[in-house]
Structure 1
Amino acid sequence: MAVVINHQIDIDTTTETVWQVITDTKKYGEWNPFVVACHSTLAVGSPINMKVRVMPFFAQPQKETILEHLPGEALSYGIKMPLGMLSSHRRHWVTETEPGKACYVSTFKLEGWLSPLVKLFVGGQLQRGFNEMSAAIGQRALQLK
């Protein structure tokens, strides 16, 4: 039983502006309610170190690996734990819907034999966090417009 969370929002600004929000990880603490701190070179194979607020009262450290970086278009990262316990794949994707307008797509998939427990204990919190982050990306991009 995988945990799957998807979002898509249209933003009245350029794809470049949305991409700037996603990749300026040093500023996540200024606007991001879910990933409250983040550091990475964003180079494929390199780490992405985050502090993720799954529970409202605590931001836990999370270290993942950059899996894909197509500048201006897509950024993916994830984890793969031993023995098939858990693996995750998170993707940010930006496309132009018409000149000066962007579509932001967020996908997250967590699978493995521990995923039912994760879903049971924090599935709702993960859904809330990804909802909030997607909305905040849109709001931040509009502020920078």
Structure 2
Amino acid sequence: MAKELKTQIRIEAAPDQVWDVLTDFEKYPAWNPFIKSLTGQVAVGHTINVRLEPPEGSGMTFKPKVLAMEKNKEFRWLGQLFFKGLFDGEHRFALVDNGDGSTTFLHSERFEGILVPLFNEMIEVNTRNGFEDMNQQLKIRVEGLYK
């Protein structure tokens, strides 16, 4: 079973400016309402530590593996609950240059595994709200710094 969650927001700043804020992980506690911390060596093939706190949901800390880290374009990781195939999530942040000084921030996750149907409501409500909250706060922070 698979499920994909996709969100996006337009940010009035260039991709490199959005990237600078998105990848300044030490400052996440100051502005990010969804990802409260992200630590470790953020490089392809490495495991990082991530603390998520979705609105009206239980927080969790997990250790995903970084799949992609392409400056000003994409940051992606794969997290798993206990073992592969149970409940896996491939989380993705992507930046699209709109060519007019603005950026479309794409925030998505593809969930796979036998437990996905059991978490459907959590994904559609808590996780989606967490993505949307983070997107909005990223927009506010970037535009506040660079406009």
CA distances 1:110-143 after superposition (whole Å, capped 9, x unpaired)? 11101111214x2211111111111111111112
The residue that corresponds to 1:8 in the other structure is 8
Paired with 1:55 and 1:33, the residues of 2 have a C-alpha distance of 8
SS at match of 2:54: strand
Paired with 1:57 and 1:79, the residues of 2 have a C-alpha distance of 18
Paired with 2:72 and 2:13, the residues of 1 have a C-alpha distance of 14
Distance 1:21 1:99, change over 3 A: same
CA distances 1:26-64 after superposition (whole Å, capped 9, x unpaired)? 111000001111113211011121111035475321211
Residue 71 (1) aligns with residue 71 (2) = yes
SS at match of 2:49: strand
Residues 66, 78 of structure 2: 8 Å contact kept: yes
The residue that corresponds to 2:120 in the other structure is 119
Query: Which structure is higher in strand share?
Result: 1
The unaligned stretches of length 5 or more in structure 2 are none
Distance 1:119 1:89, change over 3 A: same
Residue correspondence of structure 1 range 1-145 to structure 2 within 5 A: 1-54=1-54, 56=56, 58-80=58-80, 82=83, 84-120=85-121, 122-123=122-123, 124-145=125-146
Paired with 1:17 and 1:50, the residues of 2 have a C-alpha distance of 23
Residues 4, 110 of structure 1: 8 Å contact kept: yes
The unaligned stretches of length 5 or more in structure 1 are none
Length-normalised TM-score, structure 2: 0.89
Residues 64, 77 of structure 1: 8 Å contact kept: yes
Distance 1:50 1:98, change over 3 A: same
In the comparison of the two structures, how many residue pairs are matched?
A: 144
Residues 55, 129 of structure 2: 8 Å contact kept: no
Length-normalised TM-score, structure 1: 0.90
Distance 1:96 1:79, change over 3 A: same
Amino acid at match of 1:26: E
